[in-house]
Structure 1
Amino acid sequence: MTADPFSSRPTPGIAASTTDLSKVYGSGDTRVVALDRVSVSFREAEFTAIMGPSGCGKSTLMHCAAGLDSVSSGSVRIGTTELGTLGDRHLTELRRDRIGFIFQAFNLLPTLTALENITLPLSIAGRRPDRQWLDRVVSMVGLAQRLDHRPGQLSGGQQQRVAVARALATRPAIVFGDEPTGNLDSRAGAEVLGFLRDSVRELGQTVVMVTHDPVAASYADRVVFLADGRLVDEMVRPTPDRVLDRMKQFDTRARTS
């Protein structure tokens, strides 16, 4: 009987981590180092924002940490599970069962209702939703009166609420968001960020979000900053002004380099 690769319990306090993570694209004259020995941990029940200048490796870090992209060297763990030791099938199962995703483009199926979109990952896995948990998530994101609506009948903000609920429905170890408010106006974006904040405070969820917006980053417990593929700074209890001042330093350095 083979061992269950997911049987080990997560390291207390750490939902995901990378150690000396590097990602290189191409070779020779076309070689690009997207990530350069990045070591970072994402603590349980904490909201972390990843920021930095365009092309610094933010989305690459998230994609590697979430098992969506392979790494060139170093390691990635979800809890104590080393992703590099998993075959394709077990990696797919881990992403399905222990990771939630929220993307800028919503990625909802237009022929399904809001409820069907929310429970789709569970349906694919052949699992029945935990009704109490699902009701709690739906209530938190304010969708109780919209569950029978299809995406085309919902506003952009409501569609992203569905995407947030879908990410939370499986009770994942960690939720990754790639510019989750990038397609929303400021009001709808604030609502979605508020729901993510509430999921951390009320549900004990772990959230990691890539963003370029200092206001969005201010909803997080901490911000980690990348530059040229390296982790260069960290800020706890961020405010929009403090984050903006730190980002301006990147712009100044870019102009003088």
Structure 2
Amino acid sequence: MTSTTTTETPTAQSRRDAQPPAARVVDLTKVYGKGETAVRALDGVSLDIRRGEFTAIMGPSGSGKSTMMHCAAGLDAVTSGQVLIGDVDITTLKDKALTALRRDRIGFVFQAFNLVPTLSAQENILLPMAIAGRRPDREWLDLVIDTVGLRDRLSHRPSELSGGQQQRVACARALVSRPEIVFADEPTGNLDSSSGAEVLSFLRRSVDEFGQTIVMVTHDPVAASHTDRVVFLADGRFVDEMRDPTAERILERMAELSAHHAVAPSHPSEG
């Protein structure tokens, strides 16, 4: 009898696992202040962010989650350790090179939208590329605009848009340059539940349909349940992760972390 070997088709998960990480932090430490007033916001965090995945960073207040994102995105200097975007250690870059890397390879979505009030929705979407002197890929731009559902609002200024529409403009702005990774800091924090769900749905689609890599800081278990993976921080350390999360499981884990980890005094920019 002749045996046959069946070759399995690689799953999307295994393909992602085989790729180098989109971002990596290695033994990352961030200390605010000096001497007796020093606060260790991050204490030796190491973490890989896989390509084509939606990752949430969560933890009790003061756990270091916002500090971690700001350091990983090159918005805040580290005290020690490495931060790699692709194969580039951004902790070694001078200001000009770091600014160029953030502009060309990273997208940002913030809780406060950060739109320019005098510009239309379309002008806000295209602003980073205009500053960089780059022309948008028209086909990609059209796809992003249609995906966020703003085709009929492009001429409107932010004051003429709802909060959810403004955040979708911000999401489109983050994606239009096709960044390697998007960092989203509490992107639904200023939105009602319906608008928040719209934004999360768009972020989820951008991962599933565009292969985008997204890292989101959130305190909301419902928002985090839209992701592929939740990373938990406590007292500035990486303590756990959860795949295929549900809001109920996240809520239970957060309650356990809050009960078992004493929260150190937090720095104003620490989350």
> Aligned to 2:69, which of 48, 51, 62?
62
Matched, 1:146 2:136: no
SS at 1:226 equivalent: strand
1:254: how far off? 4.8
1:221: how far off? 0.1
Aligned to 2:123: 116
SS at 2:204 equivalent: helix
SS at 2:22 equivalent: strand
Deviations 1:213-253 (A, max 9, x none): 00000000000000000000000000000000000102222
**In structure 1, how many angstroms separate the alpha carbons of the residues matched to 2:181 and 2:39?**
29
Superposed CA RMSD: 1.4
One-letter amino acid of the structure 2 residue matched with residue 164 of structure 1: C
Aligned to 1:166: 173
SS at 2:172 equivalent: helix
One-letter amino acid of the structure 2 residue matched with residue 195 of structure 1: F
**In structure 2, how many angstroms separate the alpha carbons of the residues matched to 1:176 and 1:157?**
18
Aligned to 1:33: 40
Within 5 A, what are the aligned runs for 1:157-236?
Answer: 157-236=164-243
> Aligned to 1:14, which of 21, 41, 44?
21
Aligned to 2:244: 237
One-letter amino acid of the structure 1 residue matched with residue 172 of structure 2: A
> Aligned to 2:96, which of 89, 92, 98?
89
User: Where do 5+ consecutive residues of structure 2 fail to align?
Assistant: 1-17, 265-271
One-letter amino acid of the structure 1 residue matched with residue 208 of structure 2: R
TM-score w.r.t. the length of structure 2 is: 0.89
Flag as ranges the 4+ runs of structure 1 deviating above 3 A: none
Contact kept in structure 1, 2:234 and 2:261, CA below 8 Å: no
**In structure 1, how many angstroms separate the alpha carbons of the residues matched to 2:34 and 2:90?**
24
Aligned to 2:267: none
TM-score w.r.t. the length of structure 1 is: 0.94
Contact kept in structure 1, 2:55 and 2:230, CA below 8 Å: yes
Deviations 1:149-194 (A, max 9, x none): 1001000000000000000011000000000000000000000000
* Larger CA Rg, structure 1 vs 2: 2
SS at 2:151 equivalent: coil
Identity value in percent:
67
1:28: how far off? 1.1
Aligned to 2:11: none
Aligned to 1:6: none
**In structure 2, how many angstroms separate the alpha carbons of the residues matched to 1:17 and 1:184?**
30
Aligned to 1:7: none
Corresponding residue pairs, total: 247
SS at 2:153 equivalent: coil
**In structure 1, how many angstroms separate the alpha carbons of the residues matched to 2:134 and 2:36?**
48
**In structure 1, how many angstroms separate the alpha carbons of the residues matched to 2:92 and 2:63?**
27
The 1:164/1:229 distance shift into structure 2, 3 A limit, reads same
Contact kept in structure 1, 2:235 and 2:261, CA below 8 Å: no
User: Where do 5+ consecutive residues of structure 1 fail to align?
Assistant: 1-10
